[in-house]
Amino acid sequence: MLRLRTYPAPMFFRRHRDRERLRFEFRIGDVFDPDDRLARYLVRLSIALGDLRIAGATYLVREDQPLHERMYFMRLTATHLHELAILFNPPNTAIPTIEEFITAVIAPDDSETADTLRSDYRRVQRMLSDVVNVPGRPRLASELKRLRNDYAHYFNNEADDARLIDAMRLAAGLESSYVIREETMRAEYADEISNKLMHPWPDLTDEEWLEAVRRLHVRVRSLKPVAAFLHQAEAAYVTAYPEDVVRIIRPRRTVFQRLVRRERSRIGWC
């Protein structure tokens, strides 16, 4: 069982004015008991956040990359988001509710942190249930599932085959190629078909289609609500343990950093 500290640790990260980075060190088994469903929940959240940082916040938003790579990272980000969305609408009790999490981790008198966690959690739920302004007006959670299925399953069932047939028909009139380079090959026709599979809207003009693509991509890239809740949940969980279990390490400042901080204090910047 967790032993709560006497101060509201998680909000420390939002109120703390010192920009020095902190490290919380611990033995994994002391903090993340494999037999504790709450610990397993946090591990799932942390893995998801790490995956989204790489796929969505690093590679998807790179400016200098070919279109087919951007499409790949778009599908990868949508896949991670779909899997994470399951944790916000769990199919069974293996995943704790937000109230169970708050009861176990947050001190009873720390209503500010509890309210922040609830608010961040519900914001993610609203984001997933919001309508995406593309043909059919699907909810974001449904679009993420579709993108995941078409990306992760090259063939899953007859419905997959029907969607691929539609995408191939949409791309049938496009000029494309198969490129042989010195070290690699590229099936550019597959990129075109994959693009139509991701964005299956035959009744739109070219301008309308491009705008719908933009809207969908903006929604998939909107990771801030997810990151806000995951960061807060991680901080709440780890800092709920006493300091003899979780050690706070403050890196020593360099001479230059100390001089800068001293000067900032002198002129009233911090």
pLDDT by residue (tens digit) across 12-60? 444 444 455 788 999 999 999 999 999 999 999 999 999 999 999 889 9
Tell me what pLDDT residue 150 has: 84
Give how far Cα 201 sits from Cα of 158, 171, 172, 206, Å. Answer: 20, 12, 14, 10
Q: What residues pair up with 186 in beta bridges, in sequence order?
A: 179
Tell me what pLDDT residue 23 has: 85
CB atoms inside a 10 Å sphere around CB 252: 8
Tell me what pLDDT residue 255 has: 58
- Whether the CA torsion 90, 93, 94, 95 is positive or negative: it is positive
In this prediction the pTM is: 0.80
Q: Which residues of the chain have pLDDT under 70?
A: 1-20, 252-270
Tell me what pLDDT residue 241 has: 93
Measured distance CA(70)–CA(63) in Å, rounded: 9
Tell me what pLDDT residue 18 has: 42
- Whether the CA torsion 128, 233, 56, 16 is positive or negative: it is positive
Measured distance CA(13)–CA(235) in Å, rounded: 8
